[in-house]
Structure 1
Amino acid sequence: MDKHDGRATARPRAVATRGRGDPWYDEPDAEWGEWRGPGVQSAAVPAPAAPSERSAAGVYLEVQRSPAFQEVRRRYRRFVFPAVALFFAWYVAYIVAATTAPGLMAQPVAGAVNVAMVAGLGQFASTFLLTWLYARHARLRRDRAALELRWDTQEMTRGIVGHARVNDTARGEGGQR
């Protein structure tokens, strides 16, 4: 029987799988404070980019100000704000009716089923309906444009220090355009 002192088995999973196809841990990254050796830890703050290089913050601000990004956000807001207002109004109406009109809510609909039970089940049904509508809206109106923005942003940040390795791995693992 082998004797172990337990030190080799106490390694974190990330260190144990490093180099075995895990894109997040292909190599140690000094920018995120990973161990470089026994008793030595690298800096936790990434070094600032050289002034001549384009910064990631600048890229993301440029994308945020772009007409394509504004269109995706506009489509999102045009669906979400009215949907939330309608759903909240329906929920408040149910609560107000339940507390202020108990006679109405106690009216039988069919057998032992009353108006309160139907309205309560309607809350669940409307939640599922709203979820389905949101997913459908996102798929038909926003997902393609958002994915294009994502790829464009990755292309723009590809040459920036600290982003090149992650973007190359993400593009290779997630499929090509």
Structure 2
Amino acid sequence: MATETPPGANTDRRLPSAEEFVQVQQSAEFGELRRSYRSFAFPLTIAFIAWYLLYVLLSNYAGGFMGTKLLGNVNVAFVLGLAQFVTTFLIAWWYSRHAAEKLDPKAEAIKSRMEGGA
């Protein structure tokens, strides 16, 4: 039975106290991290919900428009429905890039400082 430490596991880390969590939460650095997340996530979430609701409303109340044939049996509703999937994946990809470039480094710096006690 192997009892090796998994690769990348830090056995020297410590658990921060509740006071340290509160102190970090009130810090300017944590506020910047939160602002960076919210300034990306909230507008994009609102835009996607609006786009989704537009699709639903058009499907319910603009049947003639949605039934307009574009190519053969492909109509506007089908194209907009596929666009829902495309935008979902694009948003996920875009958020992944944003998190890796802007959020993760800041969060990792805060985490390592708290666990290391520095």
Q: TM-score range by the shorter chain?
A: 0.7 to 0.9
Q: Which amino acid aligns with 1:152?
A: R
Q: What fraction of aligned residue pairs are identical, expressed as a percent?
A: 38
Mapped partners of 1:147, 1:122: distance in 2: 35
2:36 match: 75
Q: Are 2:106 and 1:123 equivalent residues in the alignment?
A: no
> With structure 1 as the length reference, what TM-score do the two structures score?
0.58
Q: 1:64 aligns with which of 25, 29, 36?
A: 25
Mapped partners of 1:155, 1:21: distance in 2: 22
2:12 match: none
Q: Are 2:102 and 1:141 equivalent residues in the alignment?
A: yes
* Unpaired stretches in structure 1, ≥5 consecutive residues: 1-16, 25-54, 159-177
Give the structure with the higher percent helix. 2
1:39-50 superposed matches below 5 A: none
* Unpaired stretches in structure 2, ≥5 consecutive residues: 10-15
Mapped partners of 1:87, 1:68: distance in 2: 29
Q: Tell me, what secondary structure is at the counterpart of 2:70?
A: strand
2:64 match: 103
1:141, CA displacement in angstroms?
A: 1.4
Runs of 4+, deviation exceeding 3 Å: none
Aligned residues: 110
Mapped partners of 1:144, 1:22: distance in 2: 25
1:132, CA displacement in angstroms?
A: 0.9
Q: Which amino acid aligns with 1:130?
A: I
Q: Which amino acid aligns with 2:19?
A: G
> With structure 2 as the length reference, what TM-score do the two structures score?
0.86
Q: Are 2:4 and 1:21 equivalent residues in the alignment?
A: yes
Q: 2:48 aligns with which of 70, 87, 91?
A: 87
1:130, CA displacement in angstroms?
A: 0.4
